[in-house]
Structures are given as C-alpha cells and as structure tokens.
Chain A
Amino acid sequence: GIQVEQSPPDLILQEGANSTLRCNFSDSVNNLQWFHQNPWGQLINLFYIPSGTKQNGRLSATTVATERYSLLYISSSQTTDSGVYFCAVEILTGGGNKLTFGTGTQLKVEL
C-alpha cells in the first residue's frame, strides 16, 4: 500500500516562530488533507489540497503532486497551535475514498 511519511516527528517552537512540516507519499494520490489534532483528540480540518498552494490565516499549504510531497507552513506560531499535525492522502476506491495517514508531527509552542 501507499506509504506516508511526515517530518519532523517532534518540534518545539518559541511563540512567534515560523515552521515547515513536510509530508512525503510513495504513489500518486487523488487528494491530500492536513489535520490538526487538538489536546482533546479532535481532528480539525486545515486543508484539502491536491496540488498548488492554499492559505488560511497564519497557515498555508503547498502540494507538489508530481514530486509526491506536501508542506504545511505555520507562521507566527501561538501556543494554541500545539498538538499533532497529520497529513492524509486520498485514494479513490470503488464508490468512494480512503485516507491513509502519516504518523504525525507533534508540535509544542512555548511562551
């Protein structure tokens, strides 16, 4: 099956710093999602991005499908950005879609 690797596995930032999280995948995909899992376990949708660049406030994402990677940029980080960031690649199968997740990047933002 498809392999999804995220880096770095852990990241500690000072508030206000910028960061880049990376997601590599081993095969062609239909789409890609980025999620933030908050400390209570809820997965929050960040981006649904098959290719190109999208921005939402301090966050932006870029997917280069031909080179099989995606990047999530966090600018001016805040303590509320702490949590685990997952990328998940979408494969179409039968009548719908399946997501394969990476193992995540654990981010801690300190004052």
Chain B
Amino acid sequence: DVKVTQSSRYLVKRTGEKVFLECVQDMDHENMFWYRQDPGLGLRLIYFSYDVKMKEKGDIPEGYSVSREKKERFSLILESASTNQTSMYLCASSQQGPVYEQYFGPGTRLTVT
C-alpha cells in the first residue's frame, strides 16, 4: 500500500514566522503535490513537482515556496506566515504514468495567530 506521511497533524504558528511542512512518500512516486483545503472551496493546488529539484506552480502559489531535494520528500514553506494561510494542508503523490492515481497524506491543520 502507498503510504504518504506528513510531519505534523496540528501546528500553531505566529504571524511572520517561517513554517515548514514536510511530506514523505514510500512508493518511489515521481510526482508530488501540495494542496490546501478550505470550507466551501474544496482542495486547491499550491505547487507540484515531477522530479527532484523540479517544481511547478499550481493554482494558488502566492505566499508559498517548495523544496524537493530527494525523491521521497516534498516540503512546503511559508516564508512569513499570515492569518489567511490558516488552513488544512494536504500532500499527495502519484506515479509518472500510465496510471496517475494520486494518494494523499493525513493532512496538517495549520493555525496562524
């Protein structure tokens, strides 16, 4: 079974702090993704990566950056956290085809005060 883990289930940070969210997958998947989930808005893609050291912007990249130094690990970085970044953050991974089914981690609920 695919396993995607995230570093924290709950996180509370102060405005202006630098925040790191980490995601690790154990299935040698090439593709990794970061989403945020907000009530009424569903899941929205922040960034994704198709390979080590490679990244592409999703639909809402503003205020975020990412890092992928190893194939199994994909980090989401909030350079200066703001209250409007309070959300549920979900990481996912998938193969590079022919089947692109995405598998999700348990999520990190981030509160910025």
Contacts and interface: CB of A to CB of B under 8 A. Distances in A.
Contact of B42 (A31, A86, A92, A96): A86
A31 B100 contact: yes
Interface residues of A, number: 26
A54 interface: no
Contact of B94 (A1, A42, A43, A97): A97
Contacts of B25: none
A15 interface: no
A90 B107 contact: no
A96 B45 contact: no
A33 B43 contact: no
Interface in B90-113: 90, 92, 94, 96-97, 99-104, 106-107, 109
B40 A42 contact: no
